């Protein structure tokens, strides 16, 4: 899903803000630190965003849009192949953007207060659910996918499994797979998730 182009200065601010808020949370992040890492001043940050909370809300929106950026069009693929491709894209997007995962974790710590007021993020996520919904409709129409599977359940499973891997990869690795190559672990988990989702939706053959 493409983003509207941003002023380069604003995009630089938001990128650094995501990094700072992801690392320290809303309470611990410092506007001074964000300003020091950008091509602007603390005064200009307040000019653009009004307050630390305004900057945080904009950074949260930016993090969601970055993780969804350049999502492919799956309509030309057969339904099951499209579902596997979409699942892989979601996993890879989370893996590429651990700062997004940390920001979402931080937002949960404040009760989702800013996300509830973020109409843009809510619309973006509702549009995200429509991707597996379209794939499911095609698969159900041809009989390859179960008629009782809901798009929101597929979406939740894919997001949840991908999010869990990124948010817990260090502790999981330390306990269950010490010494394992991180890329190998990611590749294996990606294939397991793809296969799990395929089994969830596959229609039983008579």
Nearest to 146 by CA among 206, 81, 201, 205: 201
For the chain of 206 residues, list the mean pLDDT of each consecutive stretch of 10: 65 95 95 92 91 96 90 94 98 97 95 92 92 98 97 98 97 94 97 98 83
Contact present, 136 and 75 (Cβ < 8 Å): no
Compute the half-sphere exposure of residue 159: CA atoms within 13 Å on the CB side of its CA: 17
Given 3.20.20.70, 3.40.190.10, 3.90.1150.10, 1.10.357.10, which CATH number is that of 1-70? 1.10.357.10
pLDDT of residue 5: 56
Neighbour tally for 75: CB within 10 Å: 11
Quote the CA–CA distance of 172 and 191 in Å, as a whole number: 17
pLDDT of residue 182: 95
pLDDT of residue 112: 94
| Measured distance between the N- and C-terminal CA atoms of the chain, rounded to whole angstroms | 38
Contact present, 92 and 69 (Cβ < 8 Å): no
pLDDT of residue 206: 61
Quote the CA–CA distance of 81 and 193 in Å, as a whole number: 14
1-70 and 72-206: identical CATH topology: yes
Nearest to 121 by CA among 27, 56, 72: 56
pTM: 0.92
Domain extents in the chain: 1-70, 72-206
**CATH T-level fold of 72-206:** Tetracycline Repressor; domain 2 (1.10.357)
pLDDT of residue 130: 95
β-bridge partners, 176: none
Nearest to 32 by CA among 22, 19, 23, 45: 45
Q: Which residue has the tokens 């549009």?
A: 127
């Amino acid at each position: 899903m493409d983003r509207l182009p941003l002023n380069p200065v604003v995009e630089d601010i938001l990128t650094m803000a995501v990094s700072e808020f992801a690392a320290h949370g809303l309470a611990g992040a410092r506007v001074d630190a964000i300003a020091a890492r950008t091509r602007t001043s603390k005064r200009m940050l307040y000019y653009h965003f009004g307050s630390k909370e305004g900057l945080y809300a904009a950074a949260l929106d930016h993090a969601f849009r970055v993780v969804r950026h350049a999502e492919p069009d799956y309509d030309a693929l057969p339904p099951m192949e499209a579902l596997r491709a979409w699942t892989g894209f979601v996993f890879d997007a989370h893996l590429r953007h651990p700062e997004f995962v940390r920001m979402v974790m931080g937002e949960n710590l404040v009760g989702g207060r800013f996300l509830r007021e973020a109409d843009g993020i809510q619309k973006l996520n509702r549009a995200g659910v429509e991707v597996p919904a379209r794939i499911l409709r095609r698969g159900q129409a041809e009989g390859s996918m179960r008629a009782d599977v809901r798009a929101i359940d597929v979406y939740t499973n894919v997001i949840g499994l991908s999010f869990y891997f990124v948010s817990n990869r260090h502790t999981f690795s330390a306990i269950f797979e010490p010494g394992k190559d991180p890329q190998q672990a990611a590749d294996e988990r990606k294939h397991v998730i793809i296969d799990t989702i395929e089994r969830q939706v596959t229609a039983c053959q008579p």
